[in-house]
A and B are shown apart, each in its own frame.
Chain A
Amino acid sequence: MSGFDAGGSQLDTSWFLLLAAVLFILGTIGVLIRRNPLVILICIELMLNAANLTLVAFSRQLQNLDGQLFALMSMTVAAAEAVVGLAILVDIFRHRDAEDIDDLSELKG
Chain B
Amino acid sequence: MAIAIFFIAAAMAVAGGIGVVSFRQPIRSVLSLVVVMIALSVLFLLLSAQFIFVAQIIVYAGAVMVLFLFVIALLGPAKEIAKSRLRFQASLSALFVLALFGLLWAMLQGVTYRQPDKTADMSIFGTVQSIGLGLFTKFLYPFELTSLLLLVAAIGAIYLSRKEGDDR
Q: Which residues of A contact B (CB under 8 A)?
A: 2, 6-9, 11, 13-19, 21-30, 32-36, 38-39, 41-43, 45-46, 49, 52-53, 56-57, 59-66, 68-69, 71-73, 75-84, 86-91, 93-94, 97, 99-100, 102
Residues of B within 8 A of A57 (CB): 47
Given contacts A15-B6, A62-B114, contact A28 B126 (CB under 8 A): no
- Of the A-B pairs whose beta carbons lie under 8 Å apart in the complex, a sample of 19, sorted by A's number, is A18-B105, A19-B13, A22-B14, A23-B14, A25-B97, A35-B80, A39-B26, A42-B20, A46-B33, A46-B36, A60-B47, A63-B125, A65-B131, A71-B49, A72-B51, A73-B146, A83-B67, A94-B164, A100-B85
In Å, the complex CA distance between A59 and B53 comes to 14
Q: Which size bracket describes the interface of B in this complex?
A: 35 or more
Tell me if B157 and A84 are in contact (CB < 8 A).
Answer: yes
Q: How far, in whole Å, are A79 and B139 apart by their CA atoms in the complex?
A: 19
List the A side residues contacting B36 at CB < 8 Å.
23, 46, 49
Task: Please tell me which one of the listed residues B2, B78, B130, B138 contacts residue A36 in the complex, with CB atoms under 8 A apart.
Answer: B78
Smallest CB separation, A1 vs chain B (Å): 10
B-side interface mostly: helix
User: Can you name the residue of chain B whose Cβ is closest to the Cβ of A78?
Assistant: B64
Q: Is the CB of B80 within 8 A of A83?
A: no
**A27 to B37, alpha carbons, bound, how many Å?**
13
New A-B contacts (13) at CB < 8 Å, excluding given A30-B20, A61-B116, A63-B116 = A6-B48, A22-B14, A29-B93, A29-B97, A34-B21, A39-B29, A46-B33, A52-B56, A65-B131, A69-B135, A80-B150, A83-B67, A100-B85
Partner of B21, one of A8, A16, A26: A26
Q: How far does the alpha carbon of A46 sit from the alpha carbon of B140 in the complex, in Å?
A: 28
Q: Given the complex of chains A and B, what is the CA–CA distance between A52 and B62 in angstroms?
A: 17
Judge if B8 is at the interface, Cβ distance under 8 Å. no
Cβ contact within 8 Å between B67 and A9: no
CB distance from A7 to the nearest CB of B (A): 5
* Complex CA–CA separation, A90 to B63 (angstroms): 18
Which 8 pairs show the lowest CB-CB distances between chains A and B? A32-B93, A80-B153, A26-B17, A87-B160, A63-B116, A87-B157, A21-B104, A6-B2
Given contacts A39-B80, A52-B40, whether A79 and B63 have CB atoms under 8 Å apart is: yes
Q: Note all chain A residues with C-beta closer than 8 A to B86.
A: 102
